[in-house]
Structure 1
Amino acid sequence: MYAFLSSPAALTFGWVLLGLAGLTTVVLVTMPDNRLPLSRRRPGSEPQGSGIQRMANAATDAVEKMLRGRNTSFDAILEEAGVTTPVKDLIVIVGAAALAAFALGLVLGQPVIGLLLALLCPIIGRMLLSTLADRRRKEFGKQLDEVLQMMAGSLRAGYSLPQAVATIAQEAGVPVSQEFARVTNEARVGRSMMDSLNDVATRMRNEDFYWITQAIGINREVGGNLADVLENVSKTIRERTAMKRQVAALAADGKLSAIILMLLPFVVSLFLFISNPGYIMRLFTDPLGWMMLGAGVVMLGIGGFWLTKLINLKY
């Protein structure tokens, strides 16, 4: 097996895989997400398109059949990240990226590195989705003060709570408008608005919005002026936001130091790989080098966990 991977045939096979993965990814990225099957638009018509497009459609259909009937968390992850790409397309794109990484390793004559890169592709994809979800939650938290003021103003103008929520869905920015539009749509089909708002708080993992939902729920039970309640909550959230920003400013120096320390081994390895490949490749070809890499990964993980605990201030 290793003889084949180091042979010229493996190089040709790698170029073929690289081109196939690239074409598949381009087709899936450029195709519209909300496309309807041709059989629904033109009954009796046969699907048209290029061979690579039909191949991409066949791959996504196979993934859809595999996921059908299974309880997966992919949809929830994509909702939190605000990604509108279908799950089946995203899985095929990640698979194509892994295939391209392995093919690149074959082309460069380093099948082991290509295999490692292929295994890292799903992990990197999951990390990217987590980053997008965290960014979306932070943006949601920044807009809460404005949302409360708009809601209180709408209530003082004589709007009901569902009308105020619908107004925010139309006037607020992303991602608040998306979440409140979902609440409005769920309320129109008969779901309790409080349940929808609680789902938003859970999905956004925002403690301040959880307070808002609790204040709205208590007010609906005991009565009172909801606009005044929301203004008081808005004042508390502004004070908490000011404290969060002060803590973030104080911890910025430590976070920058942690980022530099975590990236330093990878930057040095990349520099050695470019300047002296024979020197750095001994880590991947010698058993002692494998042991050193394993020890380095363990120590880097311990150090990253330690630095995270140091800079993640609780208050």
Structure 2
Amino acid sequence: MFKMGLIISSALLTAYAGYMFIDRIADKIKDYYRQKKTDEDKKEKKDIMKILYYEPSSPPARLLKFGFLIVAFALMQMAVGKFVFSGVAAIFAYNLPGMAAKRKYKRMFALFGEQLIDSFGFLRNSLQAGSSLSQALQIMVDQSSPPLSEEFEEVLKKNQFGVPLDKALNELDAKMGNKDLHLGILAMNVTREYGGNLSEILKRVVDVMRDRMRIAKKIDSITAQGKLSGWIITAIPFFLIVVLTLLQPELFGMMFTTVLGNVMLGVAVLFVTVGNIVIQKVVAINI
């Protein structure tokens, strides 16, 4: 039973290592094709993380997920020999690439939102200096850093190839799903169509963005304890499984060797997972 505890611990560590490995490999692939200066379409085809996030049902994404599922199931069968545990590991492995893609893009969206305030400041200053909106956007791209510069550069490229600027901006708005970006793009489209002082409107938008960010940071500091408590409560049962397996292998070993024990463990894992999801939903406050 001591070996059983080591196997479970090793499986959890291997899953986490695989999660981080996917993220690192995706970054390496993206950096490689950026250095090669391939065109945007080719980069999108080669970026597996983009496919996993925006097209999770596409054949490449499904192929990768099923590959992880088969490998995880085979490894757990060889290590443990229990169909229940192998099935749980396979389900987790199937969702692992999607989880890695969501984590990567969540970080990217957060960084994009942080860059918006300064970038809209560049845009406002350029408009006040007499530049057109397209020229001001190009200056903003030159003064900004990825990921914001890459996304707005794509907007300008679409505009150069004949796509109306308002349509390209709306596509970016739908892609990023950022409330502050939506306010800025709405202001750009309205002033382009009906007229108005865009620089003054952007100043007010930036003020709103700063207030929203200040409130969001305050909320994060208040709810941080609740989020941490949720993860600690979730981790305690798994920690106890390992401890009891090591200390009382004859007594707790029946949980792994009998059908009833397997069912009880499965139900316990299900309840712990649902509890963690509920806690995270309660402490997640959107503004």
Q: CA RMSD in A?
A: 3.2
The aligned residue for residue 97 of structure 1 is: 68
The aligned residue for residue 248 of structure 1 is: 220
Query: 1 CA distance for matches of 2:213 and 2:265?
Result: 42
Structure number having the greater helix percentage: 2
Cα 1:124/1:267, change in 2 over 3 Å: farther
The aligned residue for residue 228 of structure 1 is: 200
1:127 is displaced (CA, Å) by 1.4
Cα 1:272/1:130, change in 2 over 3 Å: farther
The yes-or-no answer on 1:208 pairing with 2:216 is no
Q: Conserved in 2, the CA contact under 8 Å of 1:272 and 1:280?
A: yes
1:266 maps to a residue whose letter is F
Query: 1 CA distance for matches of 2:161 and 2:107?
Result: 30
The aligned residue for residue 81 of structure 2 is: 110
Cα 1:114/1:309, change in 2 over 3 Å: closer
Q: Secondary structure at the match of 2:130?
A: coil
The aligned residue for residue 236 of structure 2 is: 264
1:156 maps to a residue whose letter is Q
- TM-score, L = length of structure 1: 0.67
Q: Conserved in 2, the CA contact under 8 Å of 1:170 and 1:177?
A: yes
Structure 2 counterpart of 1:183, from 144, 155, 161: 155
Cα 1:280/1:139, change in 2 over 3 Å: farther
The 5 A counterparts of 1:12-27 are none
- TM-score, L = length of structure 2: 0.73
Cα 1:210/1:274, change in 2 over 3 Å: farther
Unaligned runs of 5+ in 1: 1-24, 35-63, 65-73, 82-86
The aligned residue for residue 142 of structure 1 is: 114
Structure 1 counterpart of 2:275, from 303, 307, 311: 303
Q: Which has the larger radius of gyration?
A: 1
Which protein, 1 or 2, shows the higher relative CO under an 8 Å CA cutoff with sep ≥ 6?
A: 2
Q: Conserved in 2, the CA contact under 8 Å of 1:198 and 1:213?
A: yes
1:169 is displaced (CA, Å) by 2.5
Q: Secondary structure at the match of 1:191?
A: coil
1:307 is displaced (CA, Å) by 1.0
Query: 2 CA distance for matches of 1:76 and 1:205?
Result: 18
Identity across matched positions, percent: 25
Cα 1:108/1:302, change in 2 over 3 Å: closer
1:304 is displaced (CA, Å) by 2.0
1:230 maps to a residue whose letter is L
Q: How many residues align?
A: 246
Post-superposition CA distance 1:195-233 (Å, at most 9, x none): 222222222211111111111111112212211211111
Unaligned runs of 5+ in 2: 1-21, 34-44
Query: 1 CA distance for matches of 2:150 and 2:200?
Result: 26
1:201 maps to a residue whose letter is D
1:153 is displaced (CA, Å) by 1.5
Query: 2 CA distance for matches of 1:163 and 1:225?
Result: 16
Query: 2 CA distance for matches of 1:76 and 1:105?
Result: 28
